[in-house]
Amino acid sequence: MMKYIVVTGGVMSGLGKGITMASIGRILKNRGYNIVPIKIDPYINIDAGTMNPFQHGEVYVLGDGAEVDLDLGHYERFMDVELGREHNITTGIIYSAVIERERKGEYLGQTVQIIPHVTNEIKARIREVAEKSGADVCLVEIGGTVGDIESMPFLEAVRQMQGEENGNDFLFVHVTLVPFTLLSEPKTKPTQHSVKALRELGLQPDIIVCRCEKALKEDVKAKIGMFCNVKKEAVISAPDAGDIYEVPLLLEQEGIAEYTMRKLQLTQLTEEDHEWAQMVERRKKSSEGGKLCVALVGKYAELEDSYLSIKEAIKHAATELGCNVETKWIEAEDLEDVDGLDPFFEDVQGILVPGGFGVRGVEGKINAIAYAREHKIPFLGLCFGFQLAVIEAARNIAGLKDAHSSEHCETRHPVIDLLEEQQEVDEMGGTMRLGDYEVFIRKDTLAERIYGKNKIVERHRHRYEVNPAYIEQIERDGLIFSGSDRSGMRMEIVEIDGHPFFFATQFHREFKSRPNKPSPPFKAFLEACLRQ
């Protein structure tokens, strides 16, 4: 029988519902259970693909090409699972499906309404994902906060599901805020009001996870339990942690595992896996190791969540190598029209240029790449960073002075261009290469040394490609295209022989990095930085 854990949030967004749910999943996985997570996003967008990173953080790409909310990245990293588009449900997806059914006449002339038609669609999709996965426990996070008009149909759907399932198969976790005054007094009223709003919708939380600056005392937990109608042991402190990977251990210390398993009538299936705790201990030790400073040159540097997976991939590699990495965030536009870049990079041991869309900041990124190449500073480029590395090489090594991408300007040398089969597709997203694709690596290259194999599968999110007409002209003076697709027409990796470390990939290797399995290019990049 499938067990369901539903995570909701109150008071304010950004409290950490995603980390809380990912942590619960990790705790259950450590006890031998198979987990399937689902993220519900109440926005009307079909997916996160067209959303501004300044507003929503990074767009995370799954193996099947789905562009989703960044919380699914937390799920994959914490639970070490591979997810697909069906694991992210949005209002846009639900309403599109309901309207399509109505147009086909599937509702047999009924007046189509939120209840039962929209809620039935939500319940059917949750159950379908849960059953198809073959998992023991399905975790569902409902985005936003209780009281948001957008989330009402989803909350009503899970209320109905609770009544339709066995009583011991459903658990509600509510994540809320307990702020502290300047005199360090915890205030429980926001939590009380949040739970009150939830109960007005017919939902009673079984567990309340209280986000707070520091752990709550027992009398505060008792007060919350009394006013919110939950047992004191079901009031869980979730104080600010120095590292998100410590959260599963902190929640476990608070007793969330025992209470959850007792409520759902679960028994421990295997001897507890301590791999996660060991990784956290290694992370603590790495913070005391050799220090590195890596510059990340981006166009969304003001909002670090825009590059969340890159931040985490750096952490994973640093843990493996036992070093402490500080990231220096540099706005790409700040590197344009300046006299020299020494002030920006004099204190860094590596330069990373990530992906991005649009012309803003392009020349600044190209200047950063040129600086890394000329000053022999280890360089890692990702997606757009790969394309700009090719443009920089075309301009400054191959002598094609106005080389550029045809996406951004009219140029005599469109070294980055749409391939023929892409040019007839105009619909947004239609020309994108999204998700997992094979990459074939040339022998006797840095890429082969990094991966230790000649065929890999990596995740992509881009529209333009290296123009095959320029490959031979660009590939000179030590610059090598060391990875491509099966046809040999789509370039995937570029490197420079004789440089301490110059490596760029068309794919996004950060999406497949895991706390206990760091990304090979990120690890090799930091190793080169350490050698510097």
Residue 24 clears pLDDT 80, i.e. is over it: yes
Residue 195 CA to residue 216 CA, distance in Å, equals 18
Average pLDDT over residues 130-148: 95
Q: Are 362 and 390 spatial neighbours (Cβ–Cβ below 8 Å)?
A: no
Q: Which amino acid is at 141?
A: E
Residue with tokens 């949750």: 126
pLDDT in the model for residue 430: 52
> Is 383 an annotated catalytic residue?
yes
Question: Residues of the chain with pLDDT > 70: what percent?
Answer: 98
Residue 309 CA to residue 315 CA, distance in Å, equals 10
Residue 212 clears pLDDT 90, i.e. is over it: yes
Domains of the chain as residue ranges with CATH: 3-273 (3.40.50.300), 291-531 (3.40.50.880)
- The gap from C-alpha 62 to its chain's centroid, in whole angstroms, comes to 9
In angstroms and rounded to an integer, the radius of gyration of the C-alpha atoms of the chain is 25
Residue 455 CA to residue 469 CA, distance in Å, equals 24
pLDDT in the model for residue 427: 43
Q: Are 493 and 499 spatial neighbours (Cβ–Cβ below 8 Å)?
A: no
Question: Phi and psi (nearest 5°) for 295?
Answer: -90, 130
User: Could you tell me which of 252, 242, 259 has the C-alpha nearest to residue 276?
Assistant: 252
108-129: per-residue pLDDT in tens?
989 999 999 999 999 999 999 9
Residue 270 clears pLDDT 90, i.e. is over it: no
Q: Which residues contact 90 (CB under 8 A, 6 or more apart)?
A: 40, 41, 42, 43, 44, 45, 46, 47
Q: Are 20 and 175 spatial neighbours (Cβ–Cβ below 8 Å)?
A: yes
Question: Residues of the chain with pLDDT > 90: what percent?
Answer: 82
Residue 94 CA to residue 452 CA, distance in Å, equals 44
Average pLDDT over residues 360-370: 95
pLDDT in the model for residue 426: 41
User: Per the residue annotation, which of 87, 212, 508, 529 is the catalytic one?
Assistant: 508
Give the Cβ contact number of residue 177 at 10 Å: 18
Greater confidence (37 vs 402) lies with 37
The lowest-confidence range among 20-34, 201-215, 414-428, 483-497 is 414-428
pLDDT in the model for residue 422: 53
Question: Phi and psi (nearest 5°) for 291?
Answer: -95, 135
Q: Which residues contact 464 (CB under 8 A, 6 or more apart)?
A: 387, 405, 406, 407, 416, 417, 418
Omega into 116 within 30° of 0, i.e. cis? yes
Average pLDDT over residues 195-224: 96
pLDDT in the model for residue 357: 85
387-419 burial, b at 16+ Cβ within 10 Å, e below that, comes to bbbbbbbbbbbbebeebbbebeeebebbbbbbe
470-523: per-residue pLDDT in tens?
999 998 777 899 999 999 999 999 999 999 999 999 999 999 999 999 999 999
Residue 495 CA to residue 480 CA, distance in Å, equals 5
Residue 429 clears pLDDT 50, i.e. is over it: no
281-317: per-residue pLDDT in tens?
999 988 888 899 999 999 887 788 899 999 999 999 9
pLDDT in the model for residue 424: 47
> Is 392 an annotated catalytic residue?
no
Name the token pair of 336: 């344009």
CB-side neighbour CA atoms (13 Å) of 97: 17
What are the angstrom distances between the C-alpha of 117 and each of 98, 165, 252? 7, 19, 39
The lowest-confidence range among 206-210, 424-428, 469-473, 520-524 is 424-428
378-404: per-residue pLDDT in tens?
999 999 999 999 999 999 999 898 899
User: Per the residue annotation, which of 210, 212, 228, 383 is the catalytic one?
Assistant: 383
Residue 379 CA to residue 42 CA, distance in Å, equals 39
pTM above 0.85, yes or no: yes
Query: What's the mean pLDDT when you consider all of the chain?
Result: 93
pLDDT in the model for residue 431: 67
Residue 434 CA to residue 142 CA, distance in Å, equals 26
156-169: per-residue pLDDT in tens?
999 999 999 988 89
Name the token pair of 321: 């190598």
User: Per the residue annotation, which of 58, 138, 510, 529 is the catalytic one?
Assistant: 510
> Is 210 an annotated catalytic residue?
no
Residue 135 CA to residue 82 CA, distance in Å, equals 13
